[in-house]
Amino acid sequence: MKKLYGVIVALLVAAMLIPACAPKAPDCTKADVFCVGMVTDVGKIDDKSFNQSTWEGVKLAESELGAHVQYIETTDAKDYAKNIATFADAGYDVIVTVGFALGEATYAAAATYPKVYFVGVDQFQAWQYDDDATNDRANVAGLVFPEDQAGFLVGALAAQMTKTGKLGGVFGTDVVPPVWRFGEGYRAGALYIDPNIEMFIVYHSDVGFDKTFTDPEWGAATANSMIDKGADVIFGGGGKTGNGAVIAAAQRGVYAIGVDTDQYYTLPEAAPRLLSSALKLLTPGTFDLIKLAKDGAFPSGNYLGKGGYAPYHDLEKEVPAEVKAKMEEINTALLDGSLQTGVSPVKP
């Protein structure tokens, strides 16, 4: 018993010593320490979509540039400024804020912390195009994407693959311009292929920002309602809300289309029925801007990332050769500007 007691005491002492031996957090105020912080909107870091893909870009800065990286998950919109300031006050070199809703807080923080570089993902910088130089923020870059083109592509794909002539789209709030562009791009692409196609498109604009992207139950219920009406392709866009729609579609055996990243890899439960995903190349876009900041070549204003559509993966053999050729033709035309989506930047 005495021997056992001695072992327990030794283990307790060792446990007490572990924190004292743990490495200290780097001092981000030092010139030779490069620190990158990321602040999410009210969605989670592991949303298998927007936040997660952006965080992977930040993590690339850790592995490729030797950066010290950290994130803060926002749980309440009123904490945007506080969360950004947490990193800025600690001397972080670059702060990545994720989502349209953080745009105002990011712009304000750039004025307060002029020596910090800010990457605003999905935050269009309107000041770049006005004549008022007092609005300019040399330390802010908005990472924006051609969501309408990505949506157009998967809409055209869906219209070519449907057997019923009915398509569904389940999205977060249309108050957020990128979400609007995804949804209306999807509509435009489908109508480009078949002007008579029937579409069910619903935006979750009946709730606040704290709920619109984090409601997979609503997403699933909405998708199931569309499937009950005959839709055999469902596009889900908007964090966990969109994920709910994508997973529900896959469970019902219809085609599902993901968003932001190639969700074949992030939603394994939907992968067997995932036809494609409307892509915003968030990971490389985020990393590129962080690297430019580190290299002293930061591009203020708007920085256009790349979009596209994901491979067909398990459904490769179900997609006819003529459909694949048409998709390549449309993608080329969108890239060279000979084909326009006709989608407005924001909801009229």
- Could you give the domains of the chain? 35-144 (3.40.50.2300), 147-279+312-336 (3.40.50.2300)
Q: What is the distance of C-alpha 167 from the center of its chain?
A: 23
Residue 259 pLDDT:
95
Query: By three-state DSSP, how is residue 31 classified?
Result: coil
* DSSP symbols for 176-206: SHHHHHHHHHHHHHHHHH-TT-EEEEEE--S
Cβ pair 153, 331 in contact under 8 A: yes
Q: Is the dihedral of CA 82, 84, 87, 88 positive or negative?
A: negative
Query: Hey, which residues does 167 pair with through a beta bridge?
Result: 199
Per-residue confidence (pLDDT) for residue 345, from 0 to 100: 85
Burial of 198 by CB count in 10 Å (0-12 exposed, 13-18 middle, 19+ buried)? middle
Local confidence pLDDT in tens for the 348 residues of the chain? 444 444 444 444 344 433 434 346 789 999 999 999 999 988 789 887 789 999 999 999 999 999 999 999 999 999 999 999 999 999 999 999 999 999 999 999 999 999 999 999 999 998 888 888 888 999 999 999 999 999 999 999 999 999 999 999 999 999 999 999 999 999 999 999 999 999 999 999 999 988 999 999 999 999 999 999 999 999 999 999 999 999 999 999 999 999 998 999 999 999 999 999 999 989 999 999 999 999 999 999 999 998 899 999 999 999 999 999 999 999 999 999 999 999 998 888
- Per-residue pLDDT, 24: 63
Whether the Cβ atoms of residue 186 and residue 168 lie closer than 8 Å to each other = no
Q: How far apart are CA 219 and CA 225, in angstroms?
A: 10
For residue 132, the model assigns a pLDDT of 86
pLDDT at position 207, please?
94
Strands 233-237 and 255-260: parallel
The helix/strand/coil state of 323 is helix
Q: How many residues are recorded in the chain? A: 348
Q: What does the pLDDT read at residue 25?
A: 76
Residues in Cβ contact with 173 at an 8 Å cutoff, skipping those fewer than 6 apart: 179, 203, 204, 205, 207, 209, 212, 213, 238
The span from the CA of 224 to the CA of 205, in Å, is 18
Contact 293, 120 (CB under 8 A): no
- Identify each DSSP E strand in the chain by its residue range: 35-39, 68-72, 94-98, 117-121, 140-144, 166-171, 198-203, 233-237, 255-260, 274-280, 301-304, 307-309
The residue among 281, 254, 256, 277 whose CA lies nearest residue 265 is 277
> ∠337-307-66 over CA atoms, to 5°?
135
Extended strands (E) in 122-183: 140-144, 166-171
